[in-house]
Chains A and B, each alone.
Chain A
Amino acid sequence: MNSKYKIELLAEGPKAHIYTIRNLDSEISEFERFADEEDVRYDPGFQEILARIDDMANRLGCIDSFFRNESARDNAICALFAPDGKLRLYCIKMRFTLLIIGGGGIKNTRTYQEDPHLDSCVTLLEDFWKRFALYEDNGEIEISSDGKITGKDKI
């Protein structure tokens, strides 16, 4: 199987490892694509999401209740969201100690499927997750108890 994604470390701490993914056709990761969007950068919830990611890595771990299940197709896909706005950052909560972050943006539609950009973010994560599971089953990827991913970083 040809590799399609690269797994890149975003944040690490005593409580969790947090990664993002990069489509190998792209120069930047999904997180960077999210953070580079102007309307995201100026959303009041953006800094709170950054602080939450850092706090999960260093103090709290990936607590279930911090995430909202978003995908109608797959329960593993969830979102970090800002309390007072519509900002969504889609991710896969794999373990208490391991989070994979994808892309996201401002959700102005009732469902993410109605927004082509947000739908593509979720679809990419779903595709990534299927591949990741295969590589993990084959033993080409391993997850340590502290959430660190070892083995292949391109899947």
Chain B
Amino acid sequence: MSSVKNKFQELLKQVPDEVKLYVQMQGDIAIRVGEIIKEKQWTQKSLAEKMGWNESQVTRLLAGHENLTLKTIAKLSVVLEENLIQTQPRVVYIPLFPLDTPANAALNLGALRAASSVGNFFPLSTNKVTGFIKTEAKAVA
């Protein structure tokens, strides 16, 4: 590896992960907004007008330099008719069976184990599982 490449990698290691992710998110939004504008055959000026911005704000957005608030992202999403953030909470629904047979109990435990492997399932001890099953079959992250 060349020394300058090494030096770049060393400097990059000092960049916090959240800064890297922030820059990536800015870049992704910039590119997607640019694509949508092109698809809709809009100009930067027309987007600026719809957003109530001046044109330089659109330029900064497309340069990946706007630190957008959630409110602004929501407005952009409405104007562009596309949700620019796709994050959704992960909810795990577990089918439960009446605990009247050992086979059903085993099925319930298997379902709970599978749900916990998703990663966002609230951990329950075996004792509590029984009570949980008797009440309702919903586990929320």
Contacts and interface: CB of A to CB of B under 8 A. Distances in A.
A83 B7 contact: no
B16 A50 contact: no
Contact of A83 (B12, B14, B19, B67): B67
Interface residues of A, number: 29
A12 B1 CA distance: 11
Contact of A11 (B5, B19, B34): B5
For the residues of B in contact with A, the DSSP-based class is: helix
A81 B8 CA distance: 17
Interface in B19-76: 19-20, 22-24, 27, 30-31, 34, 59-60, 62-67
B4 interface: yes
A97 interface: no
A126 B63 CA distance: 23
A10 interface: yes
Nearest 9 CB-CB pairings of A with B? A83-B65, A51-B23, A65-B62, A47-B15, A51-B20, A8-B4, A29-B4, A47-B19, A10-B8
Interface of B: 2, 4-5, 7-8, 11-12, 14-16, 19-20, 22-24, 27, 30-31, 34, 59-60, 62-67
16 contacts: A8-B2, A47-B16, A51-B12, A51-B19, A51-B20, A51-B23, A52-B27, A52-B64, A54-B12, A55-B23, A55-B27, A60-B27, A65-B34, A66-B27, A66-B64, A83-B65
